[in-house]
Structure 1
Amino acid sequence: MTETAGRDGPGARTRTLLRRALDAYGDSPQAAGWLRHHLERFDEPLRLAVAGKVKAGKSTLLNALVGEEIAATDAGECTRVVTWYQDGPSPRIVLHPRHGPPRQLRTRRGEHGGLVVDLEGEDPEAVDRLTVDWPSSGLRTTSLIDTPGIASLTADASDRAGRFLTPDDAPGQADAVLYLMRHLHSADARFLESFHDRHVARATPVSTIAVLSRADEIGAGRLDAIDSARRIAARYRSDEKLSSLCQTVVAVAGLVALSGRTLRQAEYLGLRALAAAGPEVTEALLLSADRFVHPPDSLRDRLGPDAPDAAARNALLKRLGVFGVRTSLAALRDHAPDAAQLSAELVAVSGLDELREVLATQFGERRDLLKARSALLAVELVLRHEPRPAAAALAAEIERVVAGAHEFAELRLLAALRARSVPLPPEALAEAERLVGGNGSRAAARLDLDPEADVGTCRAAAVEALGRWRRRAANPVASRATVDACAVVVRSCEGMLAVLTAS
């Protein structure tokens, strides 16, 4: 658990193992460089890859997470290249070709301050990746990696995304994956299956979060569109197949989230002028996108002298979508928020806050564990490709790290619980998932308590849960699989209780 991680946690033990492997392979430049790279990764921000099919809204959601327009959202050449976004003291773009040294590209901002990336004539198929440094608090703890669309129109772009996310014989470069889908398509399921592996050092459901993206487009952009999307996401979360392949499913309207985080004063004023025209006028306008931009004369004459013109209305539609415009107009009429309040409301309704909370609890709290799995696989790769006398001892140490780290046992059990391979009744199954960290690794999340619950409340709940699961483990008619699962849950409860008692 996060609370018990420290000198004896899997992260610390894996670092020690990496150093021992470096000592053994110091005379091999390739192996040493590979091991040193993974040792250094422990001190880097979490690497989160954003993946999905073409037009799933990857770049839009990435921009919303950062709070600035730094990723290209059109279908241009840059969207065919793996692009890393990381915090830096000043904006900088570096192109890394497949062959040859990297070179810095010109950095320039667009009309509204966003980043413009130009490959300067370089063929996208000749580019290995782009790295973008951008000063941003949102990138200090997590580097974001925008990947080409799965099942892209160009085979090269699609293959590049697949190779990056699911390499055949190496740990992936990302610590975790945010997978976007408009609905659960067969191509989405195939990708999630390819990313999933039972090996403890590879991807497991806990390292993947699925996002039902472009949620505002469900229900033709009605005001209840996000509620409909959340119900669909909840249905996906209860699907046994999908729950065995990803941690959870969250509904997010990326376009609305981005607009909320970057709302401009001119856009606010335009929306306010439209709201003044009255709901009967704007609802008639919003019957279709074309009608909103090019209304009949009878409607256009009722908009009022301050209403935005056709070009401005078209820009609003591109920035906010039909749902975002409707939501903004409803808020402006209901309680007339100022621009800052409207921005906050758009972000809140978009589902972005929920996604960021999930990222913090599921990925942020498991940062060292996620990195440890990649590092263990990296050591295994070296031992397999360059066998030598020291390899046997290092392989045995890997097994000891995996077997001795309760966090890995929790991940294995969580995968089994989500695959419904442990014979437990539904209520016990749900509690077991929580107690081993399915909803987050902190005690309150494991115990299904309010995040602000005090230590005494958490301790009492942990004692109660511990007793309940000890009784289940001692049931003489329970199967071996059930007893083993209960033992892991008991140890999780004991670990929580030890930390809470010491607090």
Structure 2
Amino acid sequence: MKEPALADARRVAQQALDLYADDPAAEVIRAFDRRLQGPLRLALAGMIKAGKSTLLNAMLGETIAATDAGECTRVVTWYRRASTPSITLHPHVGEPRRLRFQREDGRVVIDLGSTTAEEVAWIDVGWPSESLRSLILIDTPGIASLSAEVSARATGYLTTKSAASAPDAVIYLMRHLHSSDRNFLESFRDSAMGGSLTVNAVAVLSRADEIGSARIDSLLSAGQVAQRYAADGDLHALVLDVIPVAGLVAETARTLREEEFRSLTAVAGMERTAREKLLLSADRFARPTDAIELSEATRRELLSRFGLYGIRLSAALIRGGATTSTALAEGLLERSGLNTLQAMVRDHFRARADTLKVYGALPGLEEVLRERPRPGSDALLAEIERIFATTHSLRELAALSRTRAGGYALPVARLEEAERIVGGSGAAAQTRLGLADDADGQAVRQRADELLTEWRGLAESPLTERGAVGLCHTVIRSLEQIASQDGRGAVLLMGDDVALSR
């Protein structure tokens, strides 16, 4: 279902294009209009060697993004759906041009020719991938790179206020929680979405298998670390959640080859003591040995593709009954953390894609209109103000962020409930109400009515602080719309006449 405000925002952009047809600002306005028309833009960010490109490949299900230290990892690269593969370089100076590329060992290798990363504004990769049907994935250079210029390029792209090319949401990868991670997320929060406090980021504890020293239970250990990070007061206000992901295992699971399955079956079939000795360390697995018929080159390739954790896990899964490559791939994927991350992207970013696009593009349009006023621009500014003032889904985003930041004087339990009702745990009606996923319409309406009584009483109480009353009204409006639905699917939160504090 479409967010009604998206059509309103597009109408404003089209009217602005007509009004500024003879002005250089028209190209900027046109870029905002493309942002409103296009798929959700989801960027992957993080410090150098955090595993961004590996995770992007896992999300795509193909080894397209460069994962080495070449020139392509130092520029912003967009991945969008296209009928046929094409790669276009957009330089800072000059016209865009097509790039040559080829497959080497299953990976896409892009030839920049004599062009350096410093000369490239961005690279546009069109690819026939179903994973890109409703998303544009954006790979960014490493934050806090050894190259100050590369780091500045990534940070500037992701945190430039009101930019037409900015992402709508971000997956931030970190191996440990450093001050530089907090600093970046604070900058992204304060500049993205038109300077709002909207939570539109999720953190990934990347290379999670390394936390448990590549043990089979490494993801459990990483999950405990991720929970501690998610409960961190500062980080809680900056990201929706922290999810552990073993990116290399996820990438390999999505691209598993039949010959790799046969090699791993040979490892799994070894006598237990010999297998445990072989898998004691990466060095032990790769060194020359007569314990297994697999060549040293094959074992090194397995290490490169799976890592020691992936090989150990694969052997365990095969011994546990994964008798086909498909079954092994599914087992690896389930234990990589990627499914959890993709569910988060689906429930929080895709479900409110229209709202995120409106909230990202309208402030930029507003800035253009204010900086270059002309007869007729005041009417468009008034329309932008009306959209923000009457669209409940936009108010929900603001309430969600302020709630997570501790901006309301209410008991913790009430704040957690409010956060869930306005969509902090997902857009489905059952999720918002804290019900089971299979709860029927009657159960949804009954629970919504119960909560409406409680929150209306809280709003009317003389003991409720004035700022918290505003949150109460937002929660009440969400509950009213849930109660008016049939209780199934995501809730479409229409505009109303209650002003949104921007």
The normalised TM-score by structure 1 is 0.93
Counterpart in the other structure of 1:210: 203
For 2:50 and 2:87, locate their aligned partners in 1 and report how far apart those are by CA, in whole Å: 25
Aligned counterpart in structure 2 of residue 288 of structure 1, from 281, 292, 301: 281
Once residues 168 and 432 of structure 1 are traced to their aligned partners in structure 2, the CA distance between those partners, rounded to angstroms, is 29
In the aligned structure 2, how far is the partner of 1:475 from the partner of 1:322?
Answer: 59
Q: How far does residue 477 in structure 1 lie from its aligned partner after superposition?
A: 1.3
Residue deviations 1:291-331 (CA, integer Å, cap 9, x gap): 11116xxxx3333xxx3121111111111111111111111
Residue in 2 that maps onto 1:238: 231
SS at 1:79 equivalent: helix
Asked if the contact 1:247–1:438 (Cα under 8 Å) also holds between the matched residues in 2, the reply is yes
2:37 — aligned with what? 43
Whole-angstrom distance in 1 between the partners of 2:470 and 2:249 = 46
Conserved? CA contact 2:176–2:205, under 8 Å: yes
Is the contact between residue 76 and residue 123 of structure 2 (CA under 8 Å) also seen in structure 1?
yes
142-151 vs 19-28, which moves further: 19-28
Aligned to 2:125: 132
Q: Secondary structure of 1:263's partner?
A: coil
Q: Deviations over 1:130-170 (max 9, x none)?
A: 11111100011111111100011112211111121111563
* Paired residue secondary structure (1:50): strand
Q: 1:99 Cα deviation (Å)?
A: 0.8
Root-mean-square deviation (CA, aligned residues, Å) is 1.9
Aligned residues: 489
The alignment status of 1:61 with 2:50, answered yes or no, reads no
Q: CA deviation at 1:34?
A: 1.8
| Residue 291 of structure 2 corresponds to residue 302 of structure 1 | yes
Q: Deviations over 1:223-254 (max 9, x none)?
A: 11101111111222222211111122111111
Contact 1:202 1:374 in 2 (8 A): no
Tell me, yes or no, if structure 1 residue 423 matches structure 2 residue 409.
yes
Percent identity at matched positions?
Answer: 47
Q: Could you tell me which of 7, 10, 13 is aligned with 2:8?
A: 13
- Partner residue of 1:327? 313
Tell which deviates more after alignment, 357-366 or 283-292: 283-292
Change (3 A) 1:498 1:198: farther
What residue identity is the alignment partner of 2:220? Answer: D
Which residue in the other structure is 2:458 paired with? 472
**Gap change, CA 1:169 and 1:417, over 3 Å in 2:** closer
Which 5+ residue runs of structure 2 have no aligned equivalent? 490-502
Mind listing any 5+ residue stretches in structure 1 that lack a counterpart?
none
Indicate conservation of the 8 Å contact 1:221/1:322, yes or no.
yes
1:312 aligns with 2:305: no
- TM-score normalised by the chain length of structure 2: 0.93
Aligned letter for 1:368? D
Alignment deviations for residues 186-215 of structure 1 (CA, whole Å, 9 cap, x no partner) = 111110011112886345443211111111
What CA distance in whole angstroms lies between the structure 1 residues aligned with 2:327 and 2:168?
Answer: 35
Task: Look up the SS of the partner of 1:473 in the other structure.
Answer: helix
Q: Distance in 2 between matches of 1:259 and 1:142?
A: 22
- Matches of 2:279 and 2:63 in 1, distance apart? 26
CA distance in structure 2 between the partners assigned to 1:268 and 1:444 by the alignment: 40
Paired residue secondary structure (2:170)? strand
Matching residue of 2:17 = 22
The code of the aligned residue for 1:259 comes to T
**Is 1:150–2:143 an aligned residue pair?**
yes
Question: How many angstroms does 1:174 deviate by?
Answer: 1.2
Task: Report if the CA contact (8 A) 1:105-1:119 is conserved.
Answer: yes
Q: 1:157 to 1:198 in 2, by over 3 A?
A: closer
Deviation at 1:17, TM superposition (A): 2.2
SS of residue in 2 equivalent to 1:109: strand
Matched, 1:403 2:389: yes
2 CA distance for matches of 1:50 and 1:204? 20
Alignment correspondent of 2:419? 433
- Cα 1:65/1:288, change in 2 over 3 Å: same
Instruction: Give the Cα–Cα distance (whole angstroms) in 1 for the partners of residues 357 and 44 of structure 2.
Output: 17
Amino acid at match of 1:27: D
Quick one: distance in 1 between partners of 2:226 and 2:7? 36
* Large movers: runs of 4+ above 4 Å: none
Alpha carbons 1:109, 1:116 under 8 Å: kept: yes
- CA contact 2:57–2:64 (8 Å) conserved in 1: yes
Deviation at 1:79, TM superposition (A): 0.3
How far apart in 2 are the matches of 1:372 and 1:168? 15
- Give the secondary structure class of the aligned counterpart of 2:331: helix
